[in-house]
Amino acid sequence: MKGKTAFITGATSGIGKATATHFAANGINLILCGRRQDRLDALQAALSKHVQVHTLNFDVRDKKEVQQAIAGLPEDFQQIDILINNAGNAHGLDPIQDGSTDDWDAMLDINVKGLLYVSDAIIPKMIRANSGHIINIGSTAGKEVYPKGNVYCASKHAVDAINQGMRLDLNGYNIRVGAVNPGMVETEFSEVRFKGDADKAGKVYQGFKPLQAKDVADIIHFVVTRPYHVNIADLVVMSVDQASSTVVNKA
């Protein structure tokens, strides 16, 4: 994998940031994406000591921005060997009858349409190269539905379907496609879900040992470092304390 280039969306925090750090330590060049420029700059400064790093600032919801950012990549970063479709989040945790349509728009636009816009811009490069690896970050929320999870779960079920669809349609192009579906991971995810309420977010991870972003990054690195003919199609990972979205062994 040394000298290959990975394109990571949502690299400014959580799973994406941990994956960028883990990849850099293993010699994988990086294209890091997000909207928070200060964080992109800090990551570039830290990780470019180890590998080549290019940053792109765009909102995955903005189709034009996505297309222009990827079309304008410098020559050295034109070939993308690994795409980590990670940018995403939950907005709200409400029964469907109380849900906000703005929250629903955000989740479907970011987690589903954003993932598609980025993939649309990168898949042709992989087809031309007759090589590539796409990892879609799904969730246990894409495998089951939990109370009040309604639209977030729908968005991750869509990622599950898109992952399967990509693998079917790209069969024959020598491109690996697979999903990594984590259970609860302690990141900024719940802070975003609860709109900055750190107390409420912190309680989600209290009383048990949740996955950490670096645990998921380690698994993503394992997935990309298998022999090229080995494609891990769909991987679910949870804390030992978690059995399903709703069954969590809390002290």
Residue 34 found at the interface with ligand NDP (CB under 6 A)? yes
Active site residue 152: yes
Contact pick of 88, 92, 132, 178 for ligand NDP (by CB under 6 A): 88
User: Which range, of 34-42, 117-125, 134-142, 225-233, touches ligand 8X3 by CB under 6 A?
Assistant: 134-142
CA neighbor of 9 nearest in space, from 106, 151, 101, 121: 121
Least distance CB 14 / ligand 8X3 (angstroms) = 10
Residue 60 found at the interface with ligand NDP (CB under 6 A)? yes
* Residue 120: partners with Cβ closer than 8 Å, 6 or more residues away: none
DSSP string, 54-66: EEEE--TT-HHHH
- Decide: 247 and 240 in contact? Cβ < 8 Å: no
At 54, the amino acid letter reads H
CA distance 204 to 207: 9
The smaller minimum CB distance to ligand 8X3, of residues 166 and 238, is found at 238
Identify what 12 binds: ligand 8X3, ligand NDP, none; CB under 5 to 8 Å per kind: ligand NDP
Residue 139 found at the interface with ligand NDP (CB under 6 A)? yes
Residue 36 found at the interface with ligand NDP (CB under 6 A)? yes
Instruction: Please tell me what DSSP assigns to residue 77.
Output: G
CA distance 162 to 158: 6
| Residue tagged 């894409």 (tokens) | 142
Identify what 245 binds: ligand 8X3, ligand NDP, none; CB under 5 to 8 Å per kind: ligand 8X3
The smaller minimum CB distance to ligand 8X3, of residues 171 and 246, is found at 246
User: Which range, of 57-65, 117-125, 143-151, 233-241, touches ligand NDP by CB under 6 A?
Assistant: 57-65
- Choose the catalytic residue: 117, 152, 173, 228: 152
Contact pick of 184, 201, 223, 238 for ligand NDP (by CB under 6 A): 184
Residue 87 in tokens: 């940018």
Identify what 128 binds: ligand 8X3, ligand NDP, none; CB under 5 to 8 Å per kind: none
For the four alpha carbons of 21, 23, 28 and 33, in that order, the dihedral sign comes to negative
Residue 228 in tokens: 């090229």
CA distance 10 to 88: 7
The smaller minimum CB distance to ligand 8X3, of residues 55 and 181, is found at 181
CA neighbor of 31 nearest in space, from 99, 79, 63: 79
In the complex, the residues that contact ligand 8X3 under the rule CB under 6 A are 139-141, 149, 184, 189, 245
